[in-house]
Each structure stands twice: as C-alpha cells, then as structure tokens.
Amino acid sequence: METRVLTVNTDPVFQDRALAILDQIEDLETQNVRNLSEAVQALLEENFDGLIIEGDAALALEQATNLRQHFPSLTIACLLEGGRRTDVGSRAKEQNIELLVIGRSTRRLRVTLTRFVRSLDSHAGTAAEGIDPCHSLIGNLNQFSAAEILQMSCLSQRSGRFTFKSGRGNSEIYLQQGAVRHAVFGSVLGEAAVAEIFRWRQGRFYFEEGIISQEQTVNRPWAHLLIDNLQKLDETLELVGV
Amino acid sequence: MKRSSWLVFETIAMRDTKLETKLRLVALQLENWKKLHDLITYGLDKAKPIISTEQERQFTEIRANLLQEIEYVLRELNILAEVSGKAMSVLQRGVSVRGVRDLSNDEVRRLETDWNGVFTKLGLMQGQLKARRKELAEQTAFDYYLSRLLRRPVTAR
C-alpha cells in the first residue's frame, strides 16, 4: 500500500527541490497544496499518512502548530529553509512536530526525506477529523440544537451564514446583525425553511462569519421565530412521544 | 558490460525524473485551471447573487499563480506556442469574479472556448505523460536496452 504525504509549498513550480526528491521515492503518493486553508480541506477530504510544510521556519512552524490543534494524530514535519533554529526547536518538540532541514546538499535532503517517508510506513494511520479554521463555529446537531446555536448567534449580533448538513440535505440560514435574514432548504425558503431546520436532530453545522445574503425571505424578529418554532417542535415531539 | 548496464539504469532514471517533473507541473496547472473555472462558473451563475470577498481573494490568488507560472510550465511541456495565446486570453478577460459577471455574451463564449482549449491540451498532455510513465514502469533494463538496439537503424536515418 502506498504512503500518502501532503505537502504545503507556496511555490511548487519554482521551489521544487524537495518535491522533485519526493517524486522519486517509490511507493509514495504526494499531493501538494499552496496554503493552510487548502491543507485543511485536503486533510478533511482524504487520508494522509504525513504532512510536510515547507518554507520559512517561523511561518512553517506556526502553520504546523495550527494544524496540530485540529489533526492531533497526524505526523507533521516542517522542512525549514536556512537551517534549524534553537527557538523553533523547543516549540516543535512541544507540538510533536518534526523539523527537517533543507541544506545545500541534495543527497542529504534525499536521505532526510526518505527517512521521514519510511518512518510513516511503520505507523500509517487515519488522520483524525478536524475543523476548518475558516469556520468560526462548528458542531453536531445532536449535541446542540439549531435553536440553541441560532439563539446564541443572534444574541451576540452575528452576521454570517450557517450551513446545516444532514441526511435530509443541506440548508443555509443567513444572519445579519443578530437577525435571521434569509433561510433556504432545497426549494423551501424563509420561515418554512427555519422551521424545517429546527426539527433536525442529526447532522453537522458550521458558521462562516461575514457572508451576507442579498435576498431577504424572513422578516420577523428572531424571538418570535424562536417561540413559534419551539412551540411547533414541542408539538411534534409530543406526537412522536419523545 | 558492467559499465554499460549501469549507464542504462542511469538513463532510465534521468528520463523518469524529467517525466515526473512534467507530470507534477501539469497536475498543478490543471488544478489551478479547474479552480479558476469553478469561480468563473460561479460568477456567471445569475442565480447566485452573493460574491464574497473571500471568493474574489481566491480568484486573484489563482490568477496570480497562473500568470506567474504559465509561461515556464508551458515551455517545459513544449506547448508554449500552442496554448499560450488562449491561456493569456482567459487570464486577461477574467479579471475578477464580478468582472466575469459583467462580460458580454460574446466575451463569455470566447472565455469558455479559450479555457476549454487550454484545459483540453493540458488534460491530453497529462494522459500522454501518464501513459509514458506506465510504459517505463513496466520496462526492465533489458527491455529498454533491447528496444534501443532494435530502434537504432530507424533513429540513425
């Protein structure tokens, strides 16, 4: 089975010394992304045995530390330009991040990278699911209901888009300064869509700050919507005997 | 004999390195052209009224990467003359997601045709390179040596 490595390299066309070496390693599949956001997306969508972040020491370590919070089981290495620095060494050790150095010698770099890749073979595992740092809030509907999270967001005067994903499909609720402005679930719009989402007890949600809808399909204050929908929800739950 | 067989191995390895580099370059290009197309398609979709600043930022970043790399990559792939014009046409027409939305119908059609030209050529190139890699992977040093011997009269002509 092939080892899969994700590399973060901002300039993979012109700064490709390490990538060229990785290309030559047998039984290794390499995928390159250019920034942290793409790395998170790739790690969420696919399984990788290891991650190599190439670049300036401080920036690479910052990115690696950030990713470590979301992917605790992933093997992460920073490929540092200009040698190892003592100040980053202790931080890397704390975060369980390996430091590799791009020296002048291509042969030494090949040995370093091959050793790192081979070390992945022995403990290849599945990367733990993480979160996208672009999303300011993320969670499961079986832990927090849509009503709870919407109430919290409205009380704190948030503007942005909630996306709810469940077996029934995807839906979106747009907030503007703490008020529900637009809601959509398939062809259902407005208050009916909000009511539908209130009933969901399984699925995931995330919130993206700052995305505002030009459409307005909900005109009532949030408090009214909440009371009406909770009442309807209670009635529904009574019907099913939960 | 020992020396010649070592040379054969080295020749295969050198070709392979170049091939892998080309494959990596073409994959990176295709990825960027796909992302650009996603954003262009979004921009052209009148049913999606919201264009976020994040989408505009992504568009600019992809465009900047393509502008920086296109000439070098196309030259490495030996398709600079064939594709460069179309690629530049797409990059010059598509200045932003909002800019794409404001293009006239003719310009949109031209943009799509040129994008398709670039994407098709790069896709074909990727297929050919992968086929070559497969051939090399299946070839032993002996096969390689034999094929060179058999090919000699043709190449000498």
Q: Is residue A84 part of a domain?
A: yes
Q: Are residues A206 and A180 in the same domain?
A: yes
User: How much is the pLDDT for A204?
Assistant: 86
Cα A74 from Cα A127, distance rounded (Å): 5
pLDDT band (50, 70, 90) for residue B13: very low
Q: What is the mean pLDDT of chain A?
A: 81
CATH number for the domain that contains residue A72: 3.40.50.2300
A92 shares its domain with A141: no
Same domain, A154 and A205: yes
What are B16-66's pLDDT values in tens digits? Answer: 788 989 999 999 999 999 999 999 999 999 888 888 998 999 999 999 999
A143 plus A115 within the same structural domain: no
Report if residue A129 sits inside a domain.
Answer: no
Name the 3-class secondary structure at A163. Answer: strand
Asked if A209 contacts A174 with a C-beta cutoff of 8 angstroms, the reply is no
With b for 16 or more beta-carbon neighbours within 10 A and e for fewer, the A69-80 pattern comes to: ebbeebbbbbbb
Of B17, B20, B73, the CB nearest to A13: B73
pLDDT at B94: 93
A18 shares its domain with A108? yes
Would you state the pLDDT for residue A38? Answer: 84
Contact assignment for A23 to B73 by CB distance below 8 Å? no
How far apart CA B47 and CA B36 sit, in angstroms, is: 19
Is residue A165 one of the residues assigned to a domain?
yes
Q: What would the two tokens of residue A56 be? A: 């300036």
Q: Report yes or no on A74 lying in a domain.
A: yes
pLDDT in tens, A98-145: 888 887 788 888 888 999 998 887 554 443 344 555 667 888 888 888
Does residue A155 sit in the same domain as residue A219? yes
Asked whether A193 and A218 are in contact (CB, 8 A), the reply is no
3-class secondary structure, A123: coil
Residues of chain A with C-beta less than 8 angstroms from the C-beta of B52: 210-211
Q: What is the pLDDT of residue A146?
A: 85
| Rounded average pLDDT over A201-211 | 84
Instruction: Please check whether residues A7 and A117 belong to one and the same domain.
Output: yes
Q: What is the pLDDT of residue A56?
A: 85
Say if CB A36 and CB A80 are below 8 A apart.
no
CB contact under 8 A, A213 and B50: yes
Task: Pull the structure tokens for residue B34.
Answer: 């796909």
- Domain count of the fold of chain A: 2
Comparing A38-42, A84-88, A187-191, the range with the smallest average pLDDT is A84-88
Q: Indicate whether A131 belongs to any domain.
A: no
Of A158, A165, A159, the C-alpha closest to A138 is: A165
Residue identified by tokens 């980053």 is A88
C-alpha atoms less than 13 angstroms from C-alpha of B85 in its C-beta half-sphere: 4
Is A23's pLDDT higher than 50?
Answer: yes
Domain assignment present for A128: no
The CA-based angle B47-A165-A31, given to 5 degrees, is: 85
Residues from A contacting B (CB-CB < 8 Å) are: 12-14, 16, 19-20, 23-24, 32, 34, 134, 210-215
β-pairing, A169-176 with A179-185? antiparallel
Helix (H), strand (E), coil (C) string for B29-49 = HHHHHHHHHHHHHHHHCCCCC
Pick A12's closest partner by Cβ from B16, B28, B53.
B28
A236 and A147 within one domain: yes
- Are residues A7 and A110 part of one domain? yes
Q: Structure tokens of B67?
A: 């502008």
Q: Which domains does chain B have, with CATH numbers?
A: 2-152 (1.20.1330)
B69 touches chain A (CB under 8 A): yes
Pair A24, A106 in one domain? yes
Going by C-beta distance under 8 Å and a sequence separation of 6 or more, which residues neighbour residue A168? A200, A203
Looking at the structure, tell me whether residues A18 and A78 fall in a common domain. yes
Instruction: Tell me the pLDDT band of A212, cut-offs 50, 70 and 90.
Output: confident
pLDDT of residue B138: 78
Residue from A59, A76, A66 nearest A6 by CA: A76
CB–CB contact B50 A211 (8 Å): yes
Q: Is residue A201 part of a domain?
A: yes
Q: List pLDDT tens digits, range B74-132.
A: 999 999 999 999 999 999 999 999 999 999 999 999 999 999 999 999 999 999 999 98
Distance from the B138 Cα atom to the nearest Cα atom in chain A, whole angstroms: 14
Beta-strand relationship, A50-55 and A3-8: parallel
Output the pLDDT for position B142.
67
Listed residues A93, A122, A151: the one ending a domain: A122
Query: Where does residue B135 rank: exposed (0-12), middle (13-18), buried (19+ CB within 10 A)?
Result: exposed
Instruction: Examine the pLDDT at A241 and tell me if it is beyond 50.
Output: no
φ, ψ of residue A33 to 5 degrees: the values are -125, 165
pLDDT at B82: 92
Q: Answer yes or no: do A161 and A114 share one domain.
A: no
For residue A58, being part of any structural domain is answered with: yes
Q: Averaged over A166-171, what is the pLDDT? A: 79
pLDDT at B147 over 80: no
Closest Cα in chain A to B23: A23
Choose the weakest-confidence range: A27-31, A81-85, A144-148, A160-164.
A81-85
Q: Name the domain boundary from A94, A122, A150.
A: A122
- Its domain, for residue A216, covers 137-240
**Range in A11-15, A88-92, A190-194, B11-15 the model is least confident about:** B11-15
Joined tokens for residue B81: 């003359």
d(CA B7, CA B15): 12
